[in-house]
Amino acid sequence: MKNVSTTGIAAAIFASLTWSMNFVAPFVIGDYSIFDLAACRFLLSGLIGIVILIASAHLCRGLTLQDWFVAGGLGFIGYVGYFLTVMVAAVYAGPVIPPAFLGLVPVVLAITGNFGGRSISWPPLLMPLALAATGLLLVNGSSIMQVDVQGERSLTIGIAFSIAAVALWTWFGIANHNALLKRPNLDARVWTALMMIGGSIQTLAFLPIGYGMELFRAPDIGFGLGAIRNLYLPAFMLAAVASIGGAWAWTIASQRLPVALAGQLLMTEIVFATCFGLMVQHRWPTLAEAVGMILLVLGVVMAINAFHSKRQTRA
């Protein structure tokens, strides 16, 4: 069993912080679509990944073709494919229900990870999970009650894709963890770069499909100087910080923490995202949101303490 690592905990929380930026992105892109932002972001991520590989050439000598394929597959599962399912869910179910479902990812990942790795007995983990689930319900509950989705079929499709997104990221969290277990000496920067390059290639393949589906607005709005503030700059920030920075930090966390604990730490993404959302909306949290965030943080702290106590017992 992996021990509790302070570096791993800090890396997981940092990854959660960077990924919470995704929830703010739609507020800063103006008339461009979220698909314009995604395409630009993942292409830039791939370019940054290439730069990282060139700068770390001495660490790439042992890479095999299987490493490239595995990393590319993970890049699709955890980034490109995941993002597409989230966007389809938002189109059919609106902007509220999909994030509420995605809030379940840390809970599902923690439960699935502990079933697979059995890194800790269930009793110490039940209370943190219960607190986290209650916190998620309080943070998202009021929004869900107010949601207005036109048509039962639309809602059904949206929920189906929301569940698919949860399944994809849970799959990514466990598959990435297992892949790194087989590559204990692989540098986190190199693994991150491989995933981003794979995701970038897949994005290139999706561009003509997305154009045919009229998902992109950039061809009509333009790619000139006017796109710098609303497209290029946000895309670069997400590519450098959320994609590269977040994936690098999560790789470090996956190398140093059990999946169950890493999943619990992912709860902090919801806290960060809620705080960013409140800042964008220029308001204070409601009582339910405030209590929900407190319960989420308390659940994370209790989970860290449970794993730390387990390590002390084994020591």
Total Cβ atoms within 10 A of residue 60: 16
What separation, in Å, do the N-terminal and C-terminal C-alpha atoms of the chain show?
A: 12
Predicted confidence (pLDDT) per residue in 91-109, tens digit: 777 656 677 777 778 878 8
Select the more confidently predicted residue: 13 or 115. 13
Residue 84 confidence (pLDDT) above 90? no
Least confident of 48-52, 110-114, 228-232: 110-114
From the CA atom positions of the chain, what is the Rg in Å? Answer: 19
Q: Domain-by-domain residue ranges, the chain? A: 6-313
The rounded distance, in Å, linking the Cα atoms of 185 and 311 is 23
Predicted confidence (pLDDT) per residue in 142-199, tens digit: 656 655 555 566 778 888 888 898 899 999 989 999 999 999 888 999 999 999 999 9
Per-residue pLDDT at 315: 45
CA–chain centroid gap for 102, Å, is 9
Residue 266 vs residues 48, 62, 168, 249: alpha-carbon distances, Å:
25, 31, 15, 12
Are the CB atoms for 122 and 114 separated by under 8 Å?
yes
Are the CB atoms for 278 and 23 separated by under 8 Å?
no
Token pair in block for residue 32: 């461009």
The rounded distance, in Å, linking the Cα atoms of 189 and 276 is 27
Per-residue pLDDT at 143: 59
State mean pLDDT over 236-258.
Answer: 92
Question: 309: pLDDT confidence band, cut at 50, 70 and 90?
Answer: low
Burial tier of 143 (Cβ tally within 10 Å: 0-12, 13-18, 19+): middle
Residue 185 vs residues 67, 101, 191, 244: alpha-carbon distances, Å:
13, 35, 11, 20
CA proximity to 276, closest of 16, 101, 100:
16
State mean pLDDT over 215-221.
Answer: 91
- Location of structure tokens 């996956």: 254
- pTM (two decimals): 0.83
Q: Is 37 left (phi over 0), alpha (psi -120 to 50) or beta?
A: alpha
Q: Which amino acid appears at position 134 of this protein?
A: T
Token pair in block for residue 107: 């809970």
- Output DSSP code: residue 150: S
